[in-house]
Amino acid sequence: MNSQRSQGKPKEGASADSPSQLIDAKIKSLDDWRGKTLAKVRSLIHQADPAVVEEWKWSLPVWSRDGILCTGETYKAKVKLTFPKGASLKDPAGLFNSSLEGNTRRAIDLEEGDAFDEAAFKALIRAAAALNTKPARD
């Protein structure tokens, strides 16, 4: 028996499943606060930038626009939103609270019951999209 399927986790590489369907399945498999949090974050990402593309990479939800904006990882006690270019983004609300030591990425760790500044998060998504779509300098 395939242990991934028996645990309700999405199947990777199944050609019939779109990235959005895999993300739907991931959210559904998390029948607790983590699934609700991931669903809320997903909604906020699409509100912030309707042109965002959903992808499924590394067995994770990935949101992109001319490059990755952020990934959505789920752990037993947190949902982690990793921004690969987060160190280049202004974060006046101080949402980044993880992976702060690196030169490139930043992350937001959300635990059950954490307050979350939705407007500031949407601003980060828009800033990440703007960074990705900015013309390269010669």
Residue 24 lies in a domain: no
Say if residue 6's pLDDT is above 70.
Answer: no
Is 99 a residue whose pLDDT tops 70? yes
Q: What is the CATH number of the domain that holds 77?
A: 3.90.1150.200
Instruction: Examine the pLDDT at 9 and tell me if it is beyond 80.
Output: no
| Whether 70 contacts 63, CB under 8 Å | yes
d(CA 8, CA 121): 29
pLDDT of amino acid 11: 47
Whether residue 4 is predicted with pLDDT greater than 50 in this model: the reply is no
When pLDDT is averaged across residues 82-89 and rounded to a whole number, the result is: 96
Asked, for residue 86, whether it belongs to a domain, the answer is: yes
What is the per-residue pLDDT for 16?
A: 63
Q: pLDDT digits over 23-58, tens only?
A: 999 999 998 999 999 999 999 999 999 999 999 999
> Locate tokens 């960074």: which residue?
131
**What is the chain's mean pLDDT, rounded?**
88
Residues 106, 110, 115, CA angle at the centre, nearest 5°?
Answer: 115
pLDDT value at 79 more than 80: yes
Could you give the C-alpha distances from 91 to 3, 54, 97, 134, 137, in angstroms and in order? 40, 23, 10, 18, 24
Assign 113 a pLDDT band (cuts: 50, 70, 90). Answer: very high
Q: How many domains does the chain have?
A: 1
114: containing domain: 33-133
**Residue 25 maps to a domain:** no
